[in-house]
């Protein structure tokens, strides 16, 4: 970089996003529990759709995503014209910041919220504002107190990553009603499918002009490797976002695999049921070993240790056992380890290993 060629102000202040580790040196069969992936993978129907797409690789994909938007709309009871698709929900978050926030504007999120909120805000030249949580749970009063005439976007992950906690509909409604008139409430529903009967904020995004919802195919649908997400909200916001969306941002393989996945409701239900069962088992098993966690509503538990040193030592021990979990110091939780809910064998293995670690102290 020369003195004359420089990026926009604030870009070099962005800390690079670090995903969950996937390998342990010297271990060939490590169990990855660091990225909140679905251990059961995508549905057979999604796999078949992806394989069929190989015959169309020489063709450009559809630019309007009409078939996928229609499938999402039919599955969730939403108007397809108010849906936008992107490269994971990350891209939708980036669109929102690019379109609605800039220099002298503020983007609000909770202190333990998804790291992409800060990154996307800073990439747009806006000021990120992290608000304190209450016992690792979104605090609506604190958010409202942080908002002002410069606030343009408020991001709430519900359930939240990496805490696994969530707030109820009355609190979300109170937040939406209390925001400044120029602000948009963005409900990040990446883990919404893991909560029985929860619409991720779809009803509010249908009714209110200041609420927008994002969702992903990377979690319960098991398509993290394809990077597909979507957003839903007021038509006026969708029209704005489509003006900056690349016309070919999703490939044919992505579109067709996602459509098959969203229509396979049986697979989603099976994954939800297994996750609920194993999540409760793992949380209880860890608690019995002296490692507490908040009640999680997602596909992971946030294991709390006595100190950052103990969390780090446990992580290192787990790696020697071929188990990869996620340190979350970057989320302001240095004394915690986030552990994805794997299959039953993985859950039992990580619980046993943590028990071994605690017994060695």
Provide the residue-wise pLDDT of the chain in tens; the chain has 361 residues. Answer: 567 888 888 788 877 766 666 666 666 678 999 999 999 999 999 999 999 999 999 999 999 999 999 999 999 999 999 999 999 999 999 999 999 999 999 999 999 999 999 999 999 999 999 999 999 999 999 999 999 999 999 999 999 999 999 999 999 999 999 999 999 999 999 999 999 999 999 999 999 999 999 999 999 999 999 999 999 999 999 999 999 999 999 999 999 999 999 999 999 999 999 999 999 999 999 999 999 999 999 999 999 999 999 999 999 999 999 999 999 999 999 999 999 999 999 999 999 999 999 986 5
Q: Could you tell me the maximum CA-CA distance found in the chain, to the nearest angstrom?
A: 60
Measured between its terminal Cα atoms, the distance across the chain in Å is 49
pLDDT at 8: 80
Report pLDDT for 294: 96
Residues in the chain: 361
- Report pLDDT for 185: 98
Are 48 and 238 spatial neighbours (Cβ–Cβ below 8 Å)? no
Integer CA distances (angstroms), 225 to 20, 41, 52, 243, in order:
14, 10, 17, 26
3-class secondary-structure state, position 162:
coil
Peptide linkage before 156 cis (omega within 30 of 0): no
pLDDT at position 12: 82
Other C-beta atoms closer than 10 Å to the C-beta of 98 total 17
**Strand ranges in the chain using DSSP code E only, listed in sequence order:** 31-32, 83-86, 106-110, 127-131, 151-157, 184-188, 211-216, 229-232, 300-304, 323-324, 326-328, 333-340
pLDDT at residue 29 in the model: 77
For residue 143 the two structure tokens come to: 């958010």
Taking the C-alpha atoms of residue 220 and residue 210, their distance in angstroms, rounded to an integer, is 27
Identify the CA nearest to 238 among candidates 65, 62, 60, 61: 65
- The burial class, CB within 10 Å (0-12 / 13-18 / 19+), for 89 is buried
């Amino acid at each position: 970089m020369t003195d004359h060629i420089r990026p926009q102000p604030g870009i070099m202040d962005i800390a690079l996003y670090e995903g969950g580790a996937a390998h342990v040196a010297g271990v060939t069969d490590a169990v990855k529990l660091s990225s909140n992936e679905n251990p059961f993978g995508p549905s057979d129907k999604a796999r078949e759709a992806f394989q069929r797409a190989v015959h169309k690789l020489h063709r450009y994909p559809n630019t309007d995503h009409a078939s996928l938007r229609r499938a999402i709309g039919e599955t969730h009871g939403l108007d397809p014209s108010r849906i936008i698709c992107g490269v994971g929900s990350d891209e939708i978050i980036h669109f929102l910041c690019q379109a609605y926030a800039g220099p002298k504007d503020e983007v609000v999120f909770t202190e333990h919220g998804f790291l992409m909120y800060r990154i996307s805000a800073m990439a747009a030249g806006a000021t990120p504002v992290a608000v304190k949580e209450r016992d690792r749970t979104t605090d609506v009063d604190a958010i409202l107190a942080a908002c002002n005439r410069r606030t343009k976007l408020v991001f709430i992950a519900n359930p939240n990553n990496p805490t696994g906690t969530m707030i109820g509909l009355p609190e979300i409604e109170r937040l939406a009603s209390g925001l400044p008139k120029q602000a948009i409430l963005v409900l990040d529903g990446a883990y919404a499918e893991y909560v029985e009967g929860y619409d991720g904020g779809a009803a509010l995004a249908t009714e209110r002009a200041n609420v927008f919802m994002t969702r992903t195919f990377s979690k319960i649908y098991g398509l993290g490797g394809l990077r597909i997400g979507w957003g839903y909200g007021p038509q006026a916001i969708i029209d704005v976002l489509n003006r900056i969306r690349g016309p070919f941002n999703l490939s044919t393989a992505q579109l067709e695999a996602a459509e098959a996945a969203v229509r396979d409701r049986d697979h989603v239900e099976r994954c939800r049921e297994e996750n609920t069962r194993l999540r409760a088992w793992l949380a209880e098993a860890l608690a019995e070993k002296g490692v507490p966690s908040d009640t999680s509503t997602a596909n992971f538990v946030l294991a709390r240790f006595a100190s950052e040193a103990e969390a780090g030592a446990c992580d290192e021990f787990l790696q020697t056992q071929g188990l990869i979990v996620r340190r979350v110091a970057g989320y302001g939780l240095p004394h915690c380890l986030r552990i994805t809910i794997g299959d039953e064998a993985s859950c039992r293995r990580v619980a046993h290993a943590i028990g071994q670690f605690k017994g060695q102290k």
